A = this chain, B = another copy of it.
Amino acid sequence: MPRPATPPLGVLLARTAKTAGQAFDRALAEVGGSQPVWQILIALKTRRHASQRELADAVGIQGATLTHHLNGMETAGLLTRTRDPENRRVHQVELTDYGERTFHRLADAAIAHDKRMRHGFTDDEITTLAALLSRLAENVTQPDP
């Protein structure tokens, strides 16, 4: 008898992520945000980064890609970039008040989005899902053995 088609996890994950990602995009767009901007804001609020390179790593993008987003965010008035007097090669990125307010606005949208996604899930299920996703990410991140 044919084995019940093991659901291709990659396909399922890709599909779920796409659906959820698009919904998240819409949620953020409604309050004037986007996923990269949100990720960068989180990284900036979470902890101080020694350099933009480090910030780019935290967000998971290349330096040039980060520059691209920082340009947009600076133009939008979310942040300022100033050279570090100690080492003028390094640029210090700082959120403006407007950047702070934007962070909170996006955070509210993200929380609402999360709440919607969690609907009908128990705390245990959330914990399980989070743990499984983390392990899955590790499997894919680790250099092949």
Where the two chains meet, the residues of A that have a C-beta atom closer than 8 Å to any C-beta of B are 6-21, 23-24, 35, 39, 42, 60, 110-111, 113-114, 116-121, 123, 125-126, 128-130, 132-137, 139-141, 144
Contacts and interface: CB of A to CB of B under 8 A. Distances in A.
12 contacts: A9-B114, A10-B24, A10-B114, A11-B110, A12-B133, A12-B134, A16-B134, A19-B60, A116-B139, A121-B132, A128-B132, A129-B129
Copies in the complex: 2
B137 A7 contact: no
The A contact surface, by secondary structure, is: helix
Given A120-B139, A121-B136, 7 more contacts: A11-B110, A12-B130, A12-B133, A13-B17, A16-B17, A16-B137, A19-B137
A21 B17 contact: yes
A18 B60 contact: yes
A20 B13 CA distance: 8
B12 A42 contact: no
Contacts of A130: 7, 9, 12
Given A9-B129, A21-B17, A60-B18, A136 B110 contact: no
A-B pairs, top 9 by smallest CB distance, nearest first, are A17-B17, A23-B140, A16-B133, A16-B137, A129-B132, A10-B114, A19-B137, A20-B140, A7-B130
